[in-house]
Amino acid sequence: MELRIVAKTGHPDFLDLPWHLPLEEWQSDRLVEVPRGISRHVVRFVGYDDVVYAIKELPEHLAEREYRLLPQLANESIPVVEAVGVIARGSQRQHRRGAPETNALLITRHLRFSRPYRTLFSSRGLPELQNQLIDALAELLVRLHLGGFFWGDCSLSNALFRRDAGALAAYLVDAETGELHPRLSNGQRQHDLTIAEVNVGGELMDLEGARGDFPYLEPAETASKLRRRYESLWCELTRDEVFGPDERYRVDARLRRLNELGFDVAEVQLLSSEEGVRLEVNPQVVEPGHHSRRLKTLAGIDAQENQARRLLNDMASFRAHLERSEERKVSEMIAGRRWLAEVFDPVIATIPPELRMRIEGAEAFHEILEHRWFLSEAAGRDIGLRSAVAAYVDGVLEPRAAKGEDPMAPGPLHRAKGVPSDEASVGAGDGMLQRRKRIALVAHDNKKKELREWATFNQGTLAHHDVYATGTTAKLLEQDLGLKVTRLKSGPLGGDQQIGAKISQGEIDCLVFFWDPLEAQPHDPDVKALLRMAVVWNIPTACNLSTADFVISSPLMSGPYKHIAPDYEAYLRRDVAG
């Protein structure tokens, strides 16, 4: 049988594989087993040294189409698998004579440390997992649409997921139904989004029916979250903004916010009008991967966006340490190279090779930083990076390997006795506020309009957090934002007390309370009690528009934060007369 092989250089020639046989009939020492999901095509995996390749059998025109599309998407910094080659059976002469189309085989490089979505759910899976999956898939779809790519079959099954500093990152693995355009219309985007919503709901229903042990899945509600997350992120990235002549600072604020979300903007357009200055952002010049590119430039490390953000923060701390100790300014580039040589590389080299193969270097470094914090909290002092690495290897990596655990499986890091978990109630002691905060929004009647306008302006940010609100405020915010809002009772009917109770139990991380200072309230004691609880348990509290703007735009809102709650043990143990 004649074969036509189109392949990239730098990879094996694959000539030792039985190409003359249908893929499902292959028998070869090269075949390897890796975690796999559901596919409409036959897919097999082969190994060459320490590199694994996926081979998919599909009609020739689809294989060649996907082989062309994947590199084009990769060139736009969109996370996709690497296309390596196409193997076609039969000669081009046969095709010109009108012979029936035969199946071809597409070769892609298997994405290390990645997993199909179904394998992420285990008996110890966390309810947060579906939120992470939906966040990752929504961001991937937004990035594809910004690049002009109509997917046509967006689903959890057609993506792979990798750990990304406590979150998940999604990679496109199946592009055969896709089309690349200069720009997508709103109709094309909405059609793609509808397909995604239907597919995801169906996949989670199948998983729920097959496994039956995940009562928190809620397939229909989770699928609808995909649309809300997508719309919020798309709006944040592309919406126009109008501001006054003396508010030019808001241009920089908007661009910084896009950078925090992981996107660069190549150009903006400012248009003067009677209503003010309009800032327009063209979707075609919004480029993803801000932190990843910056880390690559400064340290030469390839990492995903959240990992890169975490490593850049550690690099910034290292740079500040250098400037203090050496009493001179240190450039960002020099600090990056020294951090790589003096911090990152030595830490990764400390991990035994057989364990290092099980986890990405950037993800391991992130986990070590988390582990260091937990152990330092338990010890009451900074234990240092060297001790944290040793404890991480002994207490996390080796037990994982010994139990044969999937490195991608969700689960807490090993913690020393007395160290609080990520999910621990912050009201009970020191804790870690995660990236996804729980925000309570409250407003008196004369302040509801102001709160609604503020929330609408910050819709894109609030979409990445869990929102709680009282009574009428909750109903209005759900209508305005299109987001799920946890509704509590009306303030005068006990809503303020409910929020105060949640604060004391560690279930609210931030309070935005626009209260009316000019009008008496029938439930004034409840108002004072709520504000008192916020102070007692040391949570960020905004009572007016300016403070709310400062809080919501703080970098601490988009990352983990070490929350320190007051210690009231002495108060509880005090002697009470009588």
401 and 497 in a single domain? The answer is: no
pLDDT attached to residue 149 = 95
Task: Based on the residue annotation, tell me whether 549 is a catalytic residue of this protein.
Answer: no
Integer angstrom CA distances of residue 167 from 129, 130, 235, 555: 9, 11, 22, 17
Query: In a 3-state reduction of DSSP, which class is residue 355?
Result: helix
Say which residue the tokens 């590389």 belong to: 345
Please answer whether residues 44 and 26 qualify as being in contact, where contact means their C-beta atoms are separated by less than 8 angstroms: yes
Residue 179 dihedral angles phi and psi, to the nearest 5°:
-140, 135
Q: How far apart are CA 450 and CA 102, in angstroms?
A: 64
* Stated length of the chain: 578
30 and 73 in a single domain? The answer is: yes
Q: Which of 72, 84, 86 is nearest to 108 (CA)?
A: 84
DSSP secondary structure string for all residues of 221-272: HHHHHHHHHHHHHHHHHH--EEE-TT-THHHHHHHHHHHHTTEEES--EEEE
Domains identified in the chain, total number: 5
According to DSSP H, which parts of 261-405 are helical? Answer: 290-299, 305-326, 332-339, 345-350, 353-356, 361-379, 385-392, 398-403
- Within a domain: residue 272? yes
- Within a domain: residue 576? no
Integer angstrom CA distances of residue 356 from 11, 53, 218, 363, 545: 23, 20, 36, 11, 48
- Within a domain: residue 37? yes
Q: How far apart are CA 64 and CA 86, in angstroms?
A: 7
204 and 324 in a single domain? The answer is: no
416 and 306 in a single domain? The answer is: yes
Which helix H or strand E contains 84, and what residues bound it?
strand 82-89
Residues in contact with 222: Cβ distance below 8 Å, sequence separation at least 6, in sequence order: 130, 134, 200, 201, 204
209-217, Cβ contacts within 8 angstroms, sequence gap of 24 or more: 211/121, 213/123, 214/121, 214/125, 216/127, 216/130, 217/130
Please answer whether residues 305 and 435 qualify as being in contact, where contact means their C-beta atoms are separated by less than 8 angstroms: no
Which of 75, 91, 112 marks a domain boundary?
Answer: 112
pLDDT attached to residue 541 = 94
386 and 464 in a single domain? The answer is: no
Its pTM surpasses 0.75: no
Residue 230 belongs to domain spanning: 117-238
147 and 195 in a single domain? The answer is: yes
- Within a domain: residue 570? no
Integer angstrom CA distances of residue 559 from 150, 167, 287, 328, 411: 31, 11, 21, 30, 19
Q: How far apart are CA 37 and CA 118, in angstroms?
A: 7
pLDDT attached to residue 416 = 38
435 and 557 in a single domain? The answer is: yes
407 and 488 in a single domain? The answer is: no
Indicate which CATH number applies to the domain containing 135: 1.10.510
Among residues 135, 174, 192, 496, the one annotated as catalytic is: 496
- Within a domain: residue 186? yes
- Within a domain: residue 81? yes
The distance between the two most distant Cα atoms of the chain, rounded to a whole number of Å, is 104
Mark the ranges of the chain whose per-residue pLDDT is less than 50: 123-125, 410-430
Q: How far apart are CA 138 and CA 225, in angstroms?
A: 9
Say which residue the tokens 């990879």 belong to: 11
- List the strands of the sheet with 276-280, edge to edge: 241-243, 276-280, 269-273
pLDDT attached to residue 420 = 35
Residue 21 is encoded by which pair of tokens? Answer: 């046989």
Q: How far apart are CA 114 and CA 414, in angstroms?
A: 22
144 and 107 in a single domain? The answer is: no
The tens digit of pLDDT for each residue in 7-33 reads 888 899 898 999 988 999 999 999 998
- Within a domain: residue 577? no
Residue 431 is encoded by which pair of tokens? Answer: 């804790």
Which of 401, 421, 441 marks a domain boundary?
Answer: 421
Which of 421, 441, 460 marks a domain boundary?
Answer: 421
According to DSSP H, which parts of 161-185 are helical? Answer: none
Which helix H or strand E contains 551, and what residues bound it?
helix 545-552
332 and 221 in a single domain? The answer is: no
- Within a domain: residue 285? no
Residue 564 is encoded by which pair of tokens? Answer: 């320190």
357 and 416 in a single domain? The answer is: yes
Q: How far apart are CA 506 and CA 427, in angstroms?
A: 4
Q: How far apart are CA 429 and CA 104, in angstroms?
A: 60
Integer angstrom CA distances of residue 350 from 335, 370, 388, 423: 22, 17, 11, 29
441 and 550 in a single domain? The answer is: yes
B/e letters for 67-87, b = 16+ CB within 10 Å, e = fewer, are bebbebbeebebbbbebbbbb
Q: How far apart are CA 369 and CA 295, in angstroms?
A: 17
